[in-house]
Amino acid sequence: MTKALAVDWAKYNINVNAIGPGYIRTELTQPLQDNADFDKWVTARTPLGRWGNPVDIADTAVFLASPASDFITGQVVYVDGGILSSF
């Protein structure tokens, strides 16, 4: 959908991108964080060795909303500490 909308909306000078979050420390993921085995798996499997923080997602959103990303469209930016690269 991201790529299709990016192509369709480009003529209106609208960029379309998406953020693919990894394991992020939030209230909703607290039960997973509290599970020692799962927490160990996440930190061991993630190349950066930690859970993400909400600010990691926010900083990416700010970048995508800024002029610094004016020539980026149709992309999914994975904010996952490299976990997808490790499979």
Q: How many domains does the chain have?
A: 1
Say if 85 falls within a structural domain. no
Domain boundaries, position 45: 2-79
Say if 30 falls within a structural domain. yes
Collapsed DSSP state (helix, strand, coil) of residue 10: helix
Question: Of 39, 38, 61, 34, nearest to 50 (Cα)?
Answer: 39
Question: Of 84, 80, 83, 85, nearest to 45 (Cα)?
Answer: 83
Instruction: Give the CATH number for residue 36.
Output: 3.40.50.720
How large a percentage of the chain has pLDDT more than 90? 99
pLDDT in tens, 78-87: 999 999 999 7
Task: Give the ranges where 1-87 is alpha helix by DSSP (H).
Answer: 2-9, 30-34, 36-45, 54-65
Say if 86 falls within a structural domain. no
| Residues of the chain scoring pLDDT < 70 | none
- Both structure tokens of 46: 């993630």
